[in-house]
Amino acid sequence: VFEGGNMVLWDEKKGGMHPWDENYYKAATGVPTDEHFDPEFIMQHAIDSANSASAYSTGVKTGVNMMGVDLYEQPVRTILEEAETCGKSGGIMSSVPILHATPAAFVTHTNYRKNGHQLADGFRETEPTWAMGTCAS
């Protein structure tokens, strides 16, 4: 039995066997689904760009909308911070604003991707050697 695999807090009754379960497509077209199925469940529990980039930058799995912290919201060092600790330069370059989820996951620590002040404070604390992106967030 699959039982949600390694997805933290996954509920098969609400979300199906996996995030791409056929019930999502049925719900979108008005076709009846299982009575326990909740098409909004995936929005709260499937991976997003914030926590996937965070896992990539830290090696630690975290929750939806979280960056640079663990599941208990404790800061986790990013690869950029590790490089700087070793006396190396560390920076980010992005085609989106630096404080958007994917690039921000390398330079800040927050439990919510839209917490602008916390993102900006974390960026200033991390002090990347170089940062390049589009307009301000």
Is 49 labeled as catalytic in the residue annotation?
A: yes
Q: Which of 49, 52, 94, 137 is catalytic?
A: 49
Q: Spell out the SS3 assignment of the chain.
A: CCCCCCCCCCCHHHHCCCCCCHHHHHHHCCCCCCCCCCCCHHHHHCCCHHHHHHHHHHCCCCCCCCECECCCCCECCCHHHHHHHCCCCCEEECCCCCCCHHHHCCCCCECCCCCHHHHHHHHHHHCCCEEECCCCC
Q: Would you name the residues annotated as active-site residues? A: 49
